[in-house]
């Protein structure tokens, strides 16, 4: 009876570990996808900001347009920085869940 309980606990532990690794893996994938989207948005806003400033300097846009674009650009930059930190943390959690040393290199592959 005691051996059956122990086997059941071991099985539950294995399932729990697999679930935690799976969650950590998908957190890494989601973080990478978010970073890709934010980087694309950041590049677009950078272009828009330069164009809006040029329009303002030539009298075709208002200062408020430049300020709004700067706010969007800066907000996106901050979100990108936070997302990069979240990716680093998610990767460390995945390594931890898999029992890897946190300083080891890890390549995570997956589809969207």
Q: Is residue 105 part of a domain?
A: no
CB 45 within 8 A of CB 76: yes
DSSP codes joined into one string, 36-101: HHHHHHHHHHHHHHHHHHHHHHTTSS-HHHHHHHHHHHHHHHHHHHHHHHHHHHHHHHHHHHHT--
Q: Is residue 3 part of a domain?
A: no
pTM, two decimal places: 0.84
- Total structural domains within the chain: 1
Q: Is residue 88 part of a domain?
A: yes
Q: Is residue 108 part of a domain?
A: no
Q: Is residue 91 part of a domain?
A: yes
pLDDT tens per residue across all 112 residues of the chain: 778 767 777 777 888 999 999 999 999 999 999 999 999 999 999 999 999 999 999 999 999 999 999 999 999 999 999 999 999 999 999 999 999 999 999 999 986 5
Q: Is residue 104 part of a domain?
A: no
CB 91 within 8 A of CB 110: no
Q: Is residue 37 part of a domain?
A: yes
Query: Can you give the residue range of the structural domain that contains 62?
Result: 8-95
């Amino acid at each position: 009876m005691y051996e059956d309980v122990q086997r059941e606990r071991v099985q539950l532990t294995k399932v729990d570990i697999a679930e935690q690794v799976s969650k950590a893996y998908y957190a890494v994938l989601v973080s990478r996808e978010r970073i890709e989207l934010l980087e694309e948005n950041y590049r677009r806003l950078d272009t828009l900001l330069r164009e809006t400033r040029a329009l303002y300097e030539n009298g075709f846009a208002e200062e408020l347009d430049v300020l709004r674009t700067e706010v969007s650009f800066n907000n996106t930059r901050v979100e990108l920085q936070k997302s990069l930190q979240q990716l680093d943390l998610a990767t460390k959690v995945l390594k931890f869940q898999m029992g890897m040393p946190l300083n080891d290199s890890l390549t995570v592959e997956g589809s969207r």
